[in-house]
Amino acid sequence: MEQQLLDKYGGRNINRRLLKDLIKDIKNYKEPKTIKAPEPNLYLDNVLTKIDTMKDGRGDDLSDSSKKNYKSKIKAIDKVIPNIFQLFIDNPNNNPIVNDAISQIVNKYPKSSKDYLAVISKVINNLEGLSQRISPYIKGRIQQAIKEGLKVSQKTSDEKVEFKPLKITWKEFTKKVKQITKDEKIPLQVKVLFELYKLLTLRDNFGNVRITDKDLDDDTNFYNFKTKIFHLNNYKTKKKYGNKKYELPVYLNKMIEKLYEQQNYLYVNLLPDTLYLRGELSGVIPGLTKKYFGVEFNITDMRNARVSYSQEKESIDKQRITADIMLHSLAVAQQQYNRKEK
């Protein structure tokens, strides 16, 4: 009450009218009701269920891949420190216990601790009733550990950029793709796949692409061979880059139009028009490269080769164009994908 009266009357000259108001306020004063936050349900199954309703930094629903990633990390953390959120509640200012818990996570995942700690922070801020029960010290300590983990992650990334050699150079890749395209014994969909990676070098974005002679909806990845336009509408970084359109050259359009006579998608399993799980080819490509290139590499290796060639041979303006095609920034290309040749 004293603070409220000081806030209202402090510094004012008390005359008869103000005195009456002051007495009235004292007589009518009621202690404000404290709204107690609901007790959070900290059972692991409930935490995992709540992840399905969490939002990302933009306020949008988490993607399915993010939900899966968050749940996987919470399960892993629970094996290291069972019910870590209850531990934080029970020890609001017990520095040794809190620091030991965070240290256990850092020691268990030394190169990616920031990712696990970020998920903990995300749950604290989104699980109803939990944030109010976690002390400012613990929240600050988690953020500090995330920053320290970022430094470790960046150092690891820099070392990979500097020392990890390419599994295949871009010249080797493009030369071999030309040979594959000319080989009549190799399946047409394999030829189309590697021609697409030679031209666009995207991430795992070709496994769920419809082949059609008309435009489809804005949530479907499709190639319209009438317009020669590849529409990328559903992919990892769509929220940042939006729907993308790529015009393909005539020779590749003819290959895809011929492929359309056999199947309705760019790449399918052995069964007619059966996509691989979730339309992802990451598990298929290493086997294909080993078979047709004589060396096993994956999608990231192709992107490494493309960016390294761009950094070495192309102007800055052309590097930006290449980065835009590959759906990342020039800075990301320089920091994550650039590799030294063998």
**Percentage with pLDDT > 70 across the chain:** 85
DSSP 213: S
**Helices 95-108 and 64-80, packing angle to 10 deg:** 120
Higher-scoring residue by pLDDT: 273, 118? 118
Look at residue 158 in the predicted model and tell me its pLDDT: 47
pLDDT band at 334 (very low <50, low <70, confident <90, very high): low
Look at residue 251 in the predicted model and tell me its pLDDT: 96
- In tens, the pLDDT along 75-111 reads 999 999 999 999 999 999 888 999 999 999 999 998 8
Answer yes or no: is pLDDT of 32 > 90: no
Domains of the chain by residue range: 1-31, 44-162, 170-337
pLDDT band at 65 (very low <50, low <70, confident <90, very high): confident
Tokens (6 digits) for 144: 């500090």
Look at residue 276 in the predicted model and tell me its pLDDT: 77
Q: What angle do CA 88, 94, 95 make, to 5 degrees?
A: 100
Higher-scoring residue by pLDDT: 159, 142? 142
- In tens, the pLDDT along 222-281 reads 999 999 999 999 887 888 888 999 999 999 999 999 999 988 998 888 555 677 777 889
Answer yes or no: is pLDDT of 27 > 70: yes
First to last CA, the chain: 75
For domain 170-337, say whether CATH 3.10.20 is its number.
Answer: no
The dihedral of CA 68, 71, 75, 80: what is its sign? positive
Tokens (6 digits) for 21: 């108001």
Look at residue 14 in the predicted model and tell me its pLDDT: 72
d(CA 123, CA 84): 11
d(CA 54, CA 134): 19
Write the DSSP assignment of 17-30 as a string of letters: HHHHHHHHHHHH--
Residue 156's contacts (CB-CB under 8 Å, 6 or more residues apart) are 111
- In tens, the pLDDT along 278-309 reads 788 988 999 999 999 999 999 999 998 998 88
Higher-scoring residue by pLDDT: 293, 341? 293
DSSP 38: P
- Provide the mean pLDDT of the chain: 84
Least confident range from 56-65, 198-207, 225-234: namely 56-65
Antiparallel, parallel or unpaired: β 229-232 and 244-247: antiparallel
Look at residue 331 in the predicted model and tell me its pLDDT: 59
